[in-house]
Amino acid sequence: MLAHGSAAGIEVHAPAKINLFLEVIARRQDGYHEIETVLAPISLYDTLVMRAVGRKESGESAITLDVNVAVGLKQTTPAGRDNLAVQAAELLREQAGVTQGLEIRLIKRIPSEAGLGGASSDAAAVLIGANRCWELGWSVDRLSQLAAQLGSDVPFFLTRGAAICRGRGESVEPLPGLGGWHLVIAHPPDGLATAQVYQQCKVPQQPQRVEDFVKRSEDGRVRPAWRHMHNRLETAASELLPGIQSMKKEFHRLNFLAHQMTGSGSAYFGICRNARQARSLAEVLRSRLPGTVFQVRLDC
């Protein structure tokens, strides 16, 4: 996640992610699921610009959010405290004892309810940006403790590159070696709620293990790794949204190295041999599928 100062404040580019592997290990007593997953950031970004407001001695100031949805992205982004980015700012301010406010301007490009982690990435971006705006000097490890309270994927976005995530997703282990893979992502008009997909998912008696994927991705080559791609949630998501099966059939007809759903859906991605093939297949899918199609690459 890239952050830099600008005339408008602290600007952070918050990437989307894909799940190259996702297995559900067990149901937990706290209502979450124990998982093993491989997350990788991709070159699709929200942009957040933040600026501290109010004087430290003048009492607590407001945290505000202004959202601009990118052209062509049809979605409603929650405002105020319903937005995880605002919750991130409020949590950091409370824990750090800050009285200043924060103005957040969000340019939204990552679809919601897609399994691409947009809300979690935005929340992590706010933790990074607010930390700088308020001159707190908190370490990534310290911010990660707050991130885990906000959502399972938020700690991942505080790191750089791909990672193996365990627990409910908050335990992050860097996975070097991935990078340069070219992808096409299709996002249908309808989204899926993460909690609903997990509720529908059946925990396997013999879960697949992430080690098989990791061993074959160590040198960064696509072909050995894609044979071990897996997403346990895809079956449950397809039962809730039959359009996922329609996307899967279209991807299968084309010459992708591999393809599967990301996260809890509803976005679906395919791995390409190179950028030229990605451009070509993206154009084909735009003519065949409703919704939005993105051509991206792993940002590792």
Q: Which residues are known catalytic residues?
A: 17, 153
Q: How many CB atoms lie within 10 A of CB 24?
A: 21
CA distance 63 to 277: 44
CA distances from 207 to 24, 25, 198, 232, 241 (A): 7, 6, 15, 9, 24
CB–CB of 86/233 below 8 Å? no
211 CB-side CA count, 13 A = 2
172-to-153, 154, 169 alpha-carbon distances in Å: 9, 10, 7
Give the separation between CA 187 and CA 123, rounded to whole angstroms: 22
Helices (H), 81-178: 84-96, 118-133, 140-150, 154-157
Assigned token pair, 35: 């998982």
CA distance 292 to 275: 18
